[in-house]
């Protein structure tokens, strides 16, 4: 892999030792030697230790040299890597670039792709991916795999300068310890690495703009295991994914914060005494009003039949409303009809302006529904004397606020007349555990769209078996909703309160899957936390483990998994004794496991263990009107989340949607809908807006999946990456599909 890159570029490596003596290490490109005149070397020595582009005037012509600087520790030498090609510093072998093409913001997926790429680029016995936040002076291990290090390699940020990570943070350049030896240790963690058996280390920064936002740390058990070319290649890889890594870090941080906040709020709501609920809601409105600087916020309870409303608590400028039941305001009625936030504004002519509050000195208002068990039970209303209440920002904030309030408001009975008076000490019923389970049950399966008989039967079967702890095997083509169904089963199961852990056997490189599933023995590990790395099976303890693409499991792992199921215990790598576990196993595959058993590719005993009940999800083409329901749902969602007018499919377009075979199922449908939402003009999507292959369905009714895919492949000029993206499936998924259809 590495050689492919280097063969295609003229480049050379020179060593500058501490006495400024220059030594050529190798020269793939003869031209570069021209650059090594004394004057140029002076210039080189002034460069900062990070990649730079320098232009030399050599002989009669100018050459632009891309220069990368690396440090090889053990001595104070620097290595310079020089390239002649104008795009030398951005080049990456095509297979790596392709791995970055399918855009994703899923932090886990990005981390996995990085691990896969690095493991394809070079061999190592230990890999750490570190996220760094220089502003907050903190760092964390995003992923670690490989030999466990003896001792704690974690250093507090204040002492980070002594570590290899600190060095690359300061210099923004890679660091290569080609031969770790006690006489030549450079960093505080080197003795521990050496004791563990590592003989070489490579540390590469991940730069985003001018900032180090992370690092890749590799350990090797052989001296000279990594070379300067590895450092260069990994720097290149890191540069390509740095943006995705940066953004996924932000997303992850936010989702952690959101989860923590929601857990915090839920537990507060749970422990709130009944006679404190109104005080809580009152305080909440006051805090929200102070934080948002809106003039007025109030919370209104609705009766079960949605005929009446009642002011419950308010903050800021008071409304001329009493705390008693009255017929619905028409804005609240509009909110109920839209089942989403509605805004009014004096200024935006596009927003229909009928709000009475606007006549009372307010210029914008917002009405946000609070739902419980999919029923709107209250409204959070805001009014402002500027445009703030009708801004998309405020809608986003109120969406979160209403979701948070839902569990508190749910504790108020919402029948007319049954509302406790403020500060009353009347006891309200607490939701029971059964209530909560029922709640989740509705939410899990209700997220699955499809009223076709075949789909309804499938959902019903799944809901029925969810309550038992039998292992379930979910089969179906790629993108049919296997994971969605698995999650719904978990949410309706006895272990709904436990974790739902997903392992996609196809997405994780085979050599890393074992530790991903089974984890490591105890000892210092990521972030210096004692206890090793728990595998996903252990993480799923008292919950559900969803093994996606189970057909991709190697024979060794099949055997180990079988043992886990039979013995109900796991043995992390290197552990002294097994750990007992209780996990509900759901698995999924798009492959025919029975014929894999016949071919000797899948263990029969494991198959019997996994599919005590099989649920087959039909492909989209067999679900009739579901296609239109899903399309409509996706269009509505896009319009709502972007605050734009809704688009609908014309009858002709609907017809073509029904005729098409949807080889990529719902993922493909989502891709097409996204594109139509962006590019189709006007509020109706017509047949001519549809992609060509859908329009072909108009004339060619007897299209088979094979013909469909073959036609698409030709249309994309054989570019499988582009086709996989179009179908909304991974390249591995496409490869399997082509193989199945005999098109490979
Ligand atoms: N019936 C459905 N209603 C709403 N959304 C759906 C439905 N089925 C699938 N989806 C959505 O389609 C996408 C693909 O679904 P999912 O990942 O569950 O499919 P899968 O069969 O597990 O795919 P793969 O085999 O490729 O892993 C997801 O975004 C999912 O939320």
For 278-308, the pLDDT digits (tens) are 888 999 999 999 988 899 999 999 988 888 8
Note the pLDDT of residue 297: 93
Helix count (H) and strand count (E) of the chain? 25, 25
Identical fold at 274-409 and 622-740? no
Least confident of 36-40, 389-393, 503-507: 36-40
Cα separations (Å) of 388 from 230, 346, 348, 352, 554? 53, 12, 12, 16, 57
CA of 666 to the centre of ligand 1 (A): 6
Confidence class for position 438, pLDDT limits 50, 70, 90: very low
Place of tokens 């030549």: 184
**Atom 13, ligand 1: residue with shortest CA distance:** 667
Indicate which atom in ligand 1 lies nearest the CA of residue 669.
12
pLDDT value at position 607? 92
- Here the ipTM equals 0.95
- Give the per-residue pLDDT at 412: 74
Specify the DSSP class assigned to residue 357: G
**Which position has the token pair 């073509």?**
656
Please say if the pLDDT value at position 60 is more than 50: no
CA of 553 to the centre of ligand 1 (A): 21
* pLDDT cut 90: percent of the chain above it: 23
Strand pairing of 648-649 and 684-685? parallel
pLDDT given at position 194: 93
Query: Can you state the angle between helices 482-491 and 453-466, rounded to 10 degrees?
Result: 40
Across 33-42, 73-82, 134-143, 285-294, the highest mean pLDDT is recorded for 285-294
Euclidean distance between CA atoms 458 and 131, whole angstroms: 43
Instruction: Give yes or no for residue 420 having a pLDDT over 50.
Output: no
User: Is residue 649 very low, low, confident or very high in pLDDT (cuts 50, 70, 90)?
Assistant: very high
DSSP code of 599? T
CA gap 385, 396 in Å, rounded: 19
Looking at per-residue pLDDT, the higher value among 504 and 268 belongs to: 504
Closest alpha carbon to 564 in 582, 547, 542, 548 = 582
Considering only residues 234 and 275, tell me which one the structure prediction assigns the higher pLDDT: 234
Gap from CA of 619 to ligand 1 centroid (Å): 11
What residues are in contact with ligand 1 under a 6 Å CB criterion?
448-450, 476, 478-484, 548, 590, 630, 666-667, 729, 733
- What does the pLDDT look like over 309-347, one tens digit per residue? 999 898 988 766 677 888 898 889 989 988 899 888 776
Give every CB contact of residue 257 below 8 A, 6+ residues apart in sequence: none
> What confidence tens digit (pLDDT) does each residue in 674-731 have?
889 888 888 899 888 888 878 775 555 445 778 778 888 887 778 887 788 777 777 7
Instruction: Out of 2.160.20.10, 3.40.50.300, 3.40.190.10, 3.10.580.10, select the CATH number for domain 437-616.
Output: 3.40.50.300
Q: What is the pLDDT of residue 524?
A: 30
Ligand 1 atom nearest to 487, measured from its CA: 18
Alpha-carbon span 111 to 117, nearest angstrom: 10
**What pLDDT score was predicted for residue 434?**
39
Pick from 674, 676, 672, 740: nearest CA to 709: 740
CATH tag for 274-409 (out of 3.30.70.1400, 3.40.50.1360, 3.30.450.40, 3.40.50.300): 3.30.450.40
**What's the whole-number average pLDDT of the chain?**
79
Pick from 21-35, 37-51, 479-493 the range whose average pLDDT is largest: 479-493
Q: Which two tokens stand for residue 687?
A: 């047949």
Per-domain residue ranges of the chain: 2-90, 94-253, 274-409, 437-616, 622-740
Q: Which class for 675: exposed (0-12), middle (13-18), buried (19 or more C-beta within 10 A)? A: middle
Which residues are CB-neighbours of 312 under 8 A, at least 6 positions away? 278, 281, 298, 299, 300, 301, 323, 378, 412, 419, 422
Helix, coil or strand: residue 341:
coil
Predicted confidence (pLDDT) per residue in 576-619, tens digit: 677 788 899 999 999 999 999 999 999 999 999 998 889 999 99
Separation between Cα atoms, residue 691 and residue 716, nearest integer Å: 13
Kindly report the CA angle at 49 between 45 and 51, in degrees rounded to 5? 105
pLDDT reported for residue 528: 31
Q: CATH fold of 622-740, please?
A: Helicase, Ruva Protein; domain 3 (1.10.8)
Mean pLDDT is lowest, of 28-37, 448-457, 535-544, for 28-37
Pocket test for ligand 1, best of 105, 478, 483, 673 (most atoms within 8 A of CB): 483
**Residue 3 banded pLDDT, cuts 50, 70, 90:** low
Options 1.10.533, 3.30.390, 3.30.450, 1.10.287; CATH for 2-90 is 3.30.450
For residue 414, the SS3 value is coil
**What are the structure tokens assigned to 331, written together?**
């804005």
The neighbour count for residue 514, using CB atoms within 10 Å, is 16
- Going by alpha carbons, the residue nearest to atom 10 of ligand 1 is 481
How do residues 534-558 score in pLDDT, each as one tens digit? 778 888 888 899 999 999 999 988 9
> Mutate which of 667, 730, 732 to test ligand 1's pocket (most atoms within 8 Å of Cβ)?
667
- Residue 481: the pLDDT is 93
The helix/strand/coil state of 573 is strand
- 90 vs 328: CA distance, rounded Å: 62
Ligand 1 centroid distance, CA of 628 (Å): 16
Quote the CA–CA distance of 379 and 339 in Å, as a whole number: 11
pLDDT (0 to 100) of residue 29: 44
Q: Is the pLDDT of residue 416 over 50?
A: no
Q: What is the predicted pLDDT for the residue at 31?
A: 52
Q: Which of 121, 176, 127 is nearest to 147 (CA)?
A: 127
Strands 78-83 and 11-16 come out as antiparallel
Mean pLDDT, residues 249-253 taken together:
80
Q: What is the pLDDT of residues 218-234, one digit of tens each?
A: 999 999 899 888 888 89
> Which residues on neighbouring strands pair with residue 13, listed in sequence order?
26, 81
Per-residue confidence (pLDDT) for residue 42, from 0 to 100: 66
Tell me which residue has its CA closest to atom 16 in ligand 1: 481
pLDDT tens column, 157-210: 888 888 999 988 888 888 899 889 888 888 999 999 999 899 999 999 999 877
d(CA 178, CA 79): 12
Higher pLDDT, 21 or 346: 346
* C-alpha span between 325 and 3 (Å, rounded): 77
Q: What is the pLDDT of residue 476?
A: 93
In words, the CATH class of domain 94-253 is alpha beta
CA–CA gap between residue 173 and residue 169 (Å, rounded): 8
Burial tier of 430 (Cβ tally within 10 Å: 0-12, 13-18, 19+): exposed
User: Which segment of 24-33, 532-541, 631-640, 687-696 scores lowest on mean pLDDT?
Assistant: 24-33
Give the separation between CA 405 and CA 209, rounded to whole angstroms: 40
**Taking every pair of C-alpha atoms in the chain, what is the biggest distance, in angstroms?**
95
Token pair 């500058």 is found at: 16
Cβ neighbours of 96 (radius 10 Å): 22
């Amino acid at each position: 892999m590495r050689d492919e890159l280097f063969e295609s570029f003229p480049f050379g490596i020179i060593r500058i030792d501490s006495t400024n003596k220059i030594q050529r290490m190798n020269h793939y490109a003869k031209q570069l030697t021209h650059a090594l005149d004394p004057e140029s070397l002076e210039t080189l020595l002034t460069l900062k230790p990070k990649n730079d582009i320098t232009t030399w005037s050599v002989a009669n012509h100018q050459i632009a040299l891309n220069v990368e600087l690396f440090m090889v520790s053990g001595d104070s030498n620097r290595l310079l890597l020089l390239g002649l090609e104008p795009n030398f510093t951005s080049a990456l072998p095509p297979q790596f670039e392709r791995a970055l093409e399918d855009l994703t913001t899923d932090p886990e997926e990005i981390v996995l792709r990085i691990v896969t790429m690095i493991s394809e680029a070079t061999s190592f016995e230990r890999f750490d991916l570190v996220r760094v936040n220089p502003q907050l002076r903190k760092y964390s291990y995003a992923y670690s795999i490989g030999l466990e290090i003896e001792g704690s390699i974690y250093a507090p940020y204040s002492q980070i300068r002594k570590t290899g990570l600190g060095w690359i943070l300061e210099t923004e350049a890679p660091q290569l310890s080609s031969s770790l030896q006690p006489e030549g240790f450079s960093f505080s963690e080197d003795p521990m690495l050496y004791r563990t058996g590592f003989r070489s280390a490579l540390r590469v920064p991940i730069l985003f703009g001018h900032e180090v936002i992370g690092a890749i740390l590799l350990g090797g058990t052989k001296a000279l295991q990594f070379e300067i070319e590895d450092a260069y290649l990994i720097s290149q890889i890191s540069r390509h994914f740095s943006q995705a890594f940066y953004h996924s870090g932000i997303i992850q941080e936010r989702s952690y914060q959101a989860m923590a906040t929601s857990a915090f709020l839920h537990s507060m709501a749970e422990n709130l005494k009944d006679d404190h609920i109104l005080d809580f809601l009152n305080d909440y409105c006051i805090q929200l009003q102070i934080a948002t600087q809106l003039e007025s916020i109030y919370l209104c309870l609705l009766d079960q039949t949605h005929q009446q409303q009642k002011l419950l608590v308010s903050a800021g400028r008071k409304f001329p409303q009493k705390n008693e039941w009255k017929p619905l305001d028409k804005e609240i009625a509009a909110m109920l009809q839209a089942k989403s936030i509605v805004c009014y504004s004096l200024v935006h002519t596009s927003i229909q302006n009928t709000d009475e509050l606007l006549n009372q000195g307010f210029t914008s208002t917002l009405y946000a529904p609070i739902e419980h068990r999919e029923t709107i039970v209250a409204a959070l209303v805001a009014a402002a004397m500027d445009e703030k209440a009708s801004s998309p920002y405020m809608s986003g904030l109120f969406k979160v606020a209403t979701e948070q309030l839902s569990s508190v408001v749910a504790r108020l009975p919402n029948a007319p007349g049954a509302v406790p008076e403020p500060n009353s000490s009347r006891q309200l019923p607490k939701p029971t555990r059964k209530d909560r389970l029922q709640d989740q049950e509705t939410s899990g399966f209700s997220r699955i769209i499809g009223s076709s008989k075949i789909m309804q039967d499938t959902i019903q079967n799944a809901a029925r078996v969810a309550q038992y702890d039998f292992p379930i095997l979910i089969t179906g083509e790629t993108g049919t909703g296997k994971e969605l169904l698995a999650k719904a089963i978990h949410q309706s199961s006895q272990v709904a309160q436990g974790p739902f852990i997903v392992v996609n056997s196809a997405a994780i490189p085979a050599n890393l899957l074992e530790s991903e599933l089974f984890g490591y023995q105890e000892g210092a590990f990521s972030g210096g936390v004692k206890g090793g790395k728990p595998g996903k099976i252990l993480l799923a303890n008292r919950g559900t483990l969803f093994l996606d693409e189970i057909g991709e499991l190697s024979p060794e792992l099949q055997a180990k998994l079988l043992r886990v199921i039979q013995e109900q215990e796991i043995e992390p790598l290197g552990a002294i004794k097994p750990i007992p576990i209780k996990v509900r196993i759901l698995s999924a595959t798009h492959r025919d496991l029975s014929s894999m058993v016949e071919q000797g590719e899948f263990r029969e005993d494991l198959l019997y263990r996994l599919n005590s009940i099989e649920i087959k999800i039909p492909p989209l083409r067999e679900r009739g009107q579901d296609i239109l329901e899903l399309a409509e749902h996706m269009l509505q969602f896009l319009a709502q989340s972007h605050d734009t007018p809704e688009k609908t499919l014309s009858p002709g377009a609907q017809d073509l949607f029904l005729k098409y075979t949807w080889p990529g199922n719902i993922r493909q449908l989502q891709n097409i809908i996204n594109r139509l939402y962006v590019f189709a003009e006007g509020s109706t999507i017509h047949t001519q807006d549809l992609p060509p292959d859908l329009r072909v369905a108009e004339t060619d009714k007897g299209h088979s999946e094979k013909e469909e895919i073959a036609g698409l492949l030709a249309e994309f000029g054989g570019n499988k990456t582009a086709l996989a993206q179009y179908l909304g499936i991974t390249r591995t998924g496409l490869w399997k599909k082509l193989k199945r259809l005999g098109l490979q």
